[in-house]
Amino acid sequence: MNKKLQQVKVVKGFLAWFGSTKAGAWTIINIGTRIDRWLIRFSKGRLNSTFAWPCLLLTTKGIKTRLNRTVALVYLKDGKNLILIASKGGNLRHPSWYLNLKANPIAQVLVDGLDAHYEASDAEEEDYDRFWQEALNVYSGYKKYQERAGDRKIPVVVLKPIK
């Protein structure tokens, strides 16, 4: 393995470890997402604060306020669909963006520099297991998040583009 690839692997391993801790999850949720809202827009999706995983900007309509709410999230691709993990760092409660999507499943997404509308749904059971395993392969911290979430089964969300 060449030296640069080895360095990337070490940094990614550190970031995965840090992100899986309570302090790391708090930092990502409360600081990283604020930085990423600007960084992802400015770079047209090429840069984000994790540097190691692809991130998108998800804009949902708030349940109570009806105001647009934007959050940066790690995502997976499944063909044209985007897959999100509603982990909230292993919190006992679902993230607000997930609850917003349950109330109004239409969302705006900025991914790879492109802005489009998607419709959200929970992954079906057979897809859930496959997507969850893929997510663990991309970011091992999700395993710790599920442990911390207790009885809350972390939702896997499928975003399908609206044509």
- Tell me what percent of the residues of the chain surpass a pLDDT of 90: 50
83-98 in b/e burial notation, b at 16+ Cβ within 10 A? bbbbbbbbbeebbebb
Give the phi and the psi of residue 19 in degrees, each rounded to 5: -65, -25
pLDDT band at 163 (very low <50, low <70, confident <90, very high): confident
Mean pLDDT, the chain, integer: 84
The rounded distance, in Å, linking the Cα atoms of 45 and 109 is 11
The predicted pLDDT at position 112 comes to 84
In degrees, rounded to 5, the angle at the alpha carbon of residue 159 between the alpha carbons of residues 143 and 40 is 80
The rounded distance, in Å, linking the Cα atoms of 56 and 51 is 12
Which whole number is the average pLDDT over 5-23?
Answer: 63
Residue 28 has pLDDT above 90, yes or no: no
Which whole number is the average pLDDT over 121-149?
Answer: 92
Tell me the whole-structure pTM to 2 decimals. 0.81
Residue 6 has pLDDT above 70, yes or no: no
Q: Which domains occur in the chain, in start order? A: 3-161 (2.30.110.10)
Nearest alpha carbon to residue 24 among 153, 143, 141:
141
Which whole number is the average pLDDT over 47-61?
Answer: 78
Helical segments of 118-163, H only: 125-138, 141-148
pLDDT band at 55 (very low <50, low <70, confident <90, very high): confident
The rounded distance, in Å, linking the Cα atoms of 154 and 47 is 27
- Tell me what percent of the residues of the chain surpass a pLDDT of 70: 71
Q: pLDDT, tens digit, for every residue of 111-120?
A: 988 889 999 9
Which whole number is the average pLDDT over 53-70?
Answer: 90
